[in-house]
Structure 1
Amino acid sequence: MTELRGRRTQEEKLHRENKQVCRRTKAAEAVLTGVAAEITEWKEDLYQPLEKVTVLDEARIKVTFHSGVEIEQTLEKGERSVTA
């Protein structure tokens, strides 16, 4: 009986964690819905939910939202540019 209670507790914890991930994903989707695939300028209203953008290497970045959602993106050669 104790084993079943332990399993149930684990399953309830997993369920709560899954619901939290779903909420974070939906929040990110809501922000990104309707946004052009090619972003050419900084738009404060779009980037307000962003916590940070991390450059992983010359071809990859990681975008972290305040909600905790992280998206890793590989950049195409034509997308890479340096501006000061």
Structure 2
Amino acid sequence: MALMITDECINCDVCEPECPNDAISPGEEIYVIDPNLCTECVGHYDEPQCQQVCPVDCIPLDPDKRETHDELMEKYHRVTDK
């Protein structure tokens, strides 16, 4: 499952540099996560780094983007060419 950023985002800028897949970018009003690049840090870390640094806890799983661990690992290989 990809992650998403909710409107509770305060644009603090701490999540974007933590994403190893460059899936987080500034949106029109708040940061956004590209579900085609988000692997929930599978392949890089044990836990999503953006969730770890978010001071307002506004990065939940996106219920519309359900993926298994194996699917996230396949995406990791595709995104990183590893």
TM-score normalised per structure 2: 0.30
Pick the structure with more strand per residue. 1
Larger Cα-atom Rg: 1
- Structure with larger RCO (C-alpha < 8 A, sep 6+): 2
Give the structure with the higher percent helix.
1
TM normalised by structure 1 equals 0.30
